[in-house]
Structure 1
Amino acid sequence: MKPLRWLAMTVLLALAACHRSEPQAASPAPHASAAVTPVTKDAGRFEPPAESSMPADDFGKQILLGRQIFNDTSHYAQAYVGNALTCENCHLDAGRLANSAPMWGAYPMYPAYRAKTHRVNTFAERLQGCFQYSMNGKAPPLGDDVLVALEAYAYWMSQHESIGVAPPGHGYPKLPKPAQAPDYARGAAVFKRDCALCHGDNGQGQQTAGRTVFPPLWGPQSFNWGAGMERLDNAVGFIKANMPLGRGDMLTDQDAWDVAYFMNAHERPQDPRFRGSVAETRKAYHDTPYSLYGVTVNGKALGEGTAHP
């Protein structure tokens, strides 16, 4: 069984957001008519390997290091991290939880063509992107000890998965479009009700003894505008399946869309691919209704970015 602190760290990323004092959050619309789409957990389909099965050799040391990097990224991969997040924030239970982009569902799917890069990427290149965007840092060089250890950890968990076949529970669930367009004020109310307890009224998370226990959801310590969680369809799938932590599938579909919209309607660090203007960067990388980059919400144009921490 994994140490109890893993469960505490798993807590991170209840992707929903709102500042309790923001005037736009007043008079939220009621939750009526919001449908609930069950999310298949597939909990019995995959059993993560027990720690006792980790090899007691040099390869096992790499697997262990990969798990440590996953759970305490800023400590074990400090040179490549630029915010207060860890890998586990977006891939819960140390990358083992179904419907939370688990590593056993990702490793067997690479190499793969990715529309984001317009080329075939290896798994190591995919990990590089996580550091550059989700961690708002810089990509470790190919062959770096950090990437090798993370690959070893993912490989160890994925040995019984089929190559090139997306298993149930991989990635984040895809929800149907909501009955009503996502709304900032309704999302603010959902955040205040279900998310602020962990992530704070201002969405900046909580720390204990200098370590992030609940992650910031926007602002300079969060993921940047190039991260996959910036897309509403990704954020809503994660929220619906996993949040509030330990009570996934509790929110209605409408609630999940609204709170994902609210979270992503706040400023965060600039997209590293910035092309000199928000308009040009949106045209090149964010030209989708699922992105709020370059969109004006409540009179504020998003995408200017925050200062790098």
Structure 2
Amino acid sequence: MVALIILPVIGLLALKPPAYWHPPADSQIPAGAKGQQIRYGRELIAHTAKYLGPKGSVRQLSNGMNCQNCHLDAGTKILGNNYSAVYSTYPKFRERSGSVETIVKRVSDCFERSLGGKAPDSASREMQAIVAYMQWLGMDVQKGQRPDGVGLAKLTYLDRAADSTKGRLVYVAKCQVCHGATGEGMKVAGAREYVYPPMWGPNSYNDGAGLYRLSGFAGYVKNNMPFGSNYTNPQLTDEESWDVAAFINSMPRPHKEQTADWPGIKNKPVDFPFGPYADQFNEKQHKFGPFQPIADARKVK
């Protein structure tokens, strides 16, 4: 009889989810000029195009997408590419640039890649506000730590290449209603920002963005798309997530010169789609997979 009571409890404990990070409450925003700066930073993340887009009221720097199109809920969503670990982990060395990067450098990269434009001046009111907001979000995270729920899910590699043909069917069934039949996104007439961002084409993220790598996009989709999904209620399977990522990233988009990226070619991610490589696998396999053979070959060396 005792065992009958204990076993279910053990099972419940095993199913207990991680203690995911949660953003600080608005009541913790300080008063005065610092608080105003943090609030402005959040506004810039949520409505980047309004201030810094093609018709921005401050400057015209970006492609019309908002930072929160990739960093959901103004960078606060669990497994939605949130900012919880930015302040705790930067400055840090990044293999992509082969250098130690500051928060300003990281934000600048997003403007040049995901937002397809130019970075705000490092001393500008806007850049300083964005950095202040990220610092505030991570104020309870210890230096050097990455809390549970940061970044994106790492999905298990498929035992095949991701299939853009299957992915198109997923896109039509689950994504097209918001992002459009031609990936053009959706705007309200006369608006300066998208309600739903473009998935490809001239106003979407360029091929230097993190989401252009399939593992990132698949993990992003799994816990966040279609709209209303989250890590407790995903709507797509892992296979569907990989395949729709393959479809979207097979479509045309702006190109960014990346010859200086990943100066240590042995450290290029298995799904970085541009050579040269330190292995025998071609660009097509590095873009669409299967990725496990690439990862296995690296373990042998």
Q: Normalised by the size of structure 1, how large is the TM-score?
A: 0.75
Q: In 2, distance between residues paired with 1:76 and 1:151?
A: 16
Deviations 1:68-117 (A, max 9, x none): 10011122234363312100001111111111121122221111111111
Deviations 1:189-226 (A, max 9, x none): 11111111111111111001323100001110001111
**Other-structure match for 2:196:** 214
- The yes-or-no answer on 1:198 pairing with 2:167 is no
Does the aligned pair in 2 maintain the 1:106–1:171 contact within 8 Å?
Answer: no
**Other-structure match for 1:17:** none
**Other-structure match for 1:178:** 158
Look up the SS of the partner of 1:120 in the other structure. strand
Q: In 2, distance between residues paired with 1:49 and 1:139?
A: 27
| Residues 1-309 of structure 1: pairs in structure 2 closer than 5 A | 45-77=20-52, 78=56, 79=59, 81-209=61-189, 210=191, 211-248=193-230, 249-273=234-258, 289-292=270-273
Higher relative contact order (CA 8 A, sep 6+): 1
- Give the AA of the match of 1:58: A
- Give the AA of the match of 2:67: C
Q: Over aligned residues, Cα RMSD in angstroms? A: 2.7
**Other-structure match for 1:14:** none
Q: In 1, distance between residues paired with 2:127 and 2:266?
A: 26
Aligned residues: 253
Look up the SS of the partner of 2:113 in the other structure. helix
Question: Gapped runs of 5+ residues in structure 1?
Answer: 1-39, 298-309
Shift in Å at residue 61 of structure 1?
A: 0.9
- Give the AA of the match of 2:214: L
Larger deviation: 213-222 or 240-249?
A: 240-249
Shift in Å at residue 41 of structure 1?
A: 7.7
Does the aligned pair in 1 maintain the 2:187–2:195 contact within 8 Å?
Answer: yes
Q: In 2, distance between residues paired with 1:117 and 1:217?
A: 26
Larger deviation: 161-170 or 102-111?
A: 102-111
Q: In 1, distance between residues paired with 2:115 and 2:70?
A: 11
Shift in Å at residue 139 of structure 1?
A: 1.7
- Identity among equivalent positions (%) equals 35
Deviations 1:234-267 (A, max 9, x none): 1111011111121232211111000001100011
Look up the SS of the partner of 1:217 in the other structure. coil
Larger deviation: 86-95 or 266-275?
A: 266-275
Does the aligned pair in 2 maintain the 1:136–1:223 contact within 8 Å?
Answer: yes
Q: In 2, distance between residues paired with 1:148 and 1:239?
A: 30
Shift in Å at residue 141 of structure 1?
A: 2.4
Q: In 1, distance between residues paired with 2:21 and 2:39?
A: 20
Q: In 2, distance between residues paired with 1:286 and 1:269?
A: 25
Shift in Å at residue 161 of structure 1?
A: 0.6
Q: In 2, distance between residues paired with 1:212 and 1:150?
A: 20
Larger deviation: 169-178 or 255-264?
A: 169-178
Q: In 2, distance between residues paired with 1:184 and 1:143?
A: 43
Does the aligned pair in 1 maintain the 2:20–2:78 contact within 8 Å?
Answer: no
**1:86–1:257 distance in 2 versus 1, CA, 3 Å:** same
- Give the AA of the match of 1:258: D
